[in-house]
Amino acid sequence: MAEERTNGHKSGSNLEKVLRAGHFAITGELGPPQSADAEEVIHKARLLKGTAEAFNITDNQTAVVRLSSIGSAVLVIKEGLEPTVQMTCRDRNRLAIQSDLLGAYALGARNLLCLTGDHQSFGNHPTAKNVHDLDSIQMIRMVKNMRDEGIFECGDEIKGKVPRFFIGAAINPFADPFEFRAHRLAKKVEAGVDFVQTQLIYDMGRFRKFMEQVVNMGLHEKVYILAGVGPIKSIGAANYMKNYVPGMIVQDEWIEGLRAAITDIPKEDKDARREALRNQGIKACSEQIKELREIEGVAGVHIMAIEWEEAVRPIVEGAGLLPRPQVE
Amino acid sequence: MIVGERKPLSEIMELLGGAQKVLVAGCGTCVTVCFAGGEKEVGILASELRMKSKLDDHAMDVEEATVQRQCEWEYIDPLRERLDGFDVVLSLACGIGVQAMNERFPGVITLPGINTTSLSLPVEQGVWEERCQACGDCLLGTTFGICPIARCSKQLLNGPCGGSQEGICEVDSDTPCAWQLIWDRAIEFDQVRRLLDIQAPKNWSQSRDGGLRKIVREDLQLESE
């Protein structure tokens, strides 16, 4: 296939360039609104600009209908940010996925995150029919074949411009069966993934164990692994994640850190307690990024601060990672 | 077996509308074994209909009939002579039986009295759990005898999603994660390697996505005169 001005890069995206140049990369996340309000996307984009290489735009996250990932991605591009379009297998079959990805590429998207998708029973249309024509691994391979072989899933040649995405996926080192997790990453690598972002990490011990397995298998040399982090803004939120979010483990030290931040502040002073908790959330996240940087095989971090976009800049700054590198 | 659950009486009453004479037709096979539409359930429903319609001031004439299998012509043909004068048949068979009745006896409407839910296994007394989706392209040979199409909430073919926790599916705390079960079997037989190859996208054309499915076995067909 023709390389069309990518200097040997697969997609030529900013995220790909930064990772290939060997920098510790940062990706962020932007959740579109449950409305057709472009201003909300633009507002969040402005808060996030300059804090990361690329920003995931969620695709009907938690199975709740939202402004589309691709539509939001176009708004984000206009603001000068680089989007990572998220695409789930839940809502689209192989025809719709390919068609929408041709559209996304034509509109300027260059990074893609291939996901199975949260089950619709968790969202606001629990009586919907789900699709799951493909799973995320099959989607990765399909998109890679579109890019590298110039063919659609059916084998037909793409006549004309080929979509050249930097292909991402999600991995959850905290779900079970634990021993299968690194093998599942290996399958994603074999399918053709370029980068992966992990589930939020609040159990560093288990994450280290997972990374040891990954490094032993040599997977870190075949795929860029971005460790998932996110600031916790309240004790309630930490407990909720610990107890109710499937596939998530929250160690007590996170909750203890938040508690310690407000021990000296009287209960009546709600604003001060709220502020102290938020500061602690941001500080803990920055510290965690520094720690993750030292783990072999970690190529960067993925910061998830949905509905708390303001936190991203101080987190990145606190981790000593501003300004972001410019790679030509 | 094919498993069903009886519809609520209120829904059945609504379906029946102002019918005067109703034949409640049971089936002696799958729905009898799952206690949804056999002779006993026919008797119970018929009694409920008689009482409810009487309370509602339009007493229905309700009769009962249960055949061995509502999904085969030879078993339902004897019902032909019983249908005279009935406004409707209320079938407690699966969806196949309901349609067989409508096709064989087009002059009378047969309504469904149960919801056909699944192809299930009675895992314990009073509990039926889905095992097959009749996808038309059986892959149990590659998944250690556990079906991810029927038993994984997302029908994944390449391993568990991120919502598998301690062997349980994120969608329902009573549901085991199909991929945990598959993984455990692979470990047991020391064949994890078989789960590491990428499974290609499934050919759904063998499933209902390909349109109405039909098997024609010429070797079994009777020669036309």
DSSP string, A227-295: EEE-----HHHHHHHHHHSTT--B-HHHHHHHHHHHTTS-TT-HHHHHHHHHHHHHHHHHHHHHHHHTS
In-domain check, residue B123:
no
**Contact assessment for residue A181 and residue A187, using Cβ atoms and an 8 Å cutoff:** no
Contacts of B206 in chain A (CB under 8 A): none
Contacts of A94 in chain B (CB under 8 A): 201
Q: How far is A139 from chain B (nearest CA, A)?
A: 9
∠ CA A317-A322-A326 to the nearest 5 degrees?
A: 160
Contacts of B184 in chain A (CB under 8 A): 177
CB contact under 8 A, B170 and A133: no
The per-residue pLDDT for range A179-224, each reduced to its tens digit, is 999 999 999 999 999 999 999 999 999 999 999 999 999 999 999 9
Q: Are residues B93 and B23 part of one domain?
A: yes
Q: Does the CB of B199 have a partner CB in chain A at under 8 Å? A: yes
The yes-or-no verdict on residue B201 having pLDDT over 80 is yes
Q: How far apart are CA B14 and CA A205, in angstroms?
A: 59
Q: Are residues B148 and B112 part of one domain?
A: no
Domain boundaries, position B32: 2-117
**Contact assessment for residue A295 and residue A204, using Cβ atoms and an 8 Å cutoff:** no
The SS3 of residue A154 is coil
Tokens representing residue A319 in the block: 């981790």
Q: Are residues B108 and B6 part of one domain?
A: yes
The per-residue pLDDT for range A262-320, each reduced to its tens digit, is 999 999 999 999 999 999 999 999 999 999 999 999 999 999 998 899 999 999 999 99
Contacts of B154 in chain A (CB under 8 A): 89-90, 116-117, 119, 130, 132, 135
Q: How far apart are CA A284 and CA A254, in angstroms?
A: 8
The yes-or-no verdict on residue A2 having pLDDT over 90 is no
In-domain check, residue B223:
no
Exposed e or buried b per residue across B138-157, where buried means at least 16 C-beta atoms within 10 angstroms of its C-beta: eeeeebbebbbbbbbbbbbb
Q: How far apart are CA A30 and CA A75, in angstroms?
A: 12
Q: Does the CB of A175 have a partner CB in chain B at under 8 Å? A: yes
Contacts of A121 in chain B (CB under 8 A): 153, 171
The yes-or-no verdict on residue A6 having pLDDT over 60 is no
Q: Are residues B94 and B13 part of one domain?
A: yes
Q: Are residues B142 and B101 part of one domain?
A: no
Q: How far apart are CA A138 and CA B156, in angstroms?
A: 10
Q: What is the mean pLDDT of residues B109-131?
A: 97
Q: Are residues B189 and B156 part of one domain?
A: yes
The yes-or-no verdict on residue A128 having pLDDT over 90 is yes
The arrangement of secondary structure in A14-318, i.e. its CATH architecture, is: Alpha-Beta Barrel (3.20)
pLDDT at residue B225, as a whole number: 57
Across the interface, of B162, B170, B179, the residue whose CB is closest to A199 is B162
The yes-or-no verdict on residue A7 having pLDDT over 70 is no
Q: Are residues B146 and B72 part of one domain?
A: no
Strand B114-124 versus strand B88-91 pairing type? unpaired
Contacts of B156 in chain A (CB under 8 A): 116, 132, 135
Q: What is the mean pLDDT of residues A225-243?
A: 95
CB contact under 8 A, A135 and B156: yes
The distance of Cα B36 from the centroid of its chain, to the nearest Å, equals: 11
Which residue from A minimizes the CA distance to B204?
A133
Q: How far apart are CA B177 and CA B166, in angstroms?
A: 9
Contacts of B195 in chain A (CB under 8 A): 180, 183
In-domain check, residue B189:
yes
pLDDT at residue A3, as a whole number: 44
CB contact under 8 A, A121 and B204: no
Q: Are residues B6 and B113 part of one domain?
A: yes
Q: How far is A270 from chain B (nearest CA, A)?
A: 35
Q: What is the CATH number of the domain that holds B27?
A: 3.40.50.2300
User: How many contacts (CB atoms, under 8 Å) link A and B?
Assistant: 94
In-domain check, residue B21:
yes
Q: How far apart are CA A136 and CA A153, in angstroms?
A: 14
Of the candidates B117, B152, B177, which is a domain's last residue?
B117
Q: What is the mean pLDDT of residues B47-61?
A: 96
Specify the number of domains making up chain B. Answer: 2
Under the banding of pLDDT at 50, 70 and 90, the label for residue B32 is very high
Q: Where in chain A are the domains? A: 14-318
The yes-or-no verdict on residue A60 having pLDDT over 50 is yes
In-domain check, residue B28:
yes
Under the banding of pLDDT at 50, 70 and 90, the label for residue A248 is confident
Under the banding of pLDDT at 50, 70 and 90, the label for residue A245 is confident
Q: Which helix (H) or strand (E) holds A109?
A: none
Q: Does the CB of A135 have a partner CB in chain B at under 8 Å? A: yes
CB contact under 8 A, B196 and A183: yes
Q: How far apart are CA A85 and CA A112, in angstroms?
A: 5
Give which of B146, B152, B165 to mutate to test A binding, by max A Cβ within 10 Å.
B165
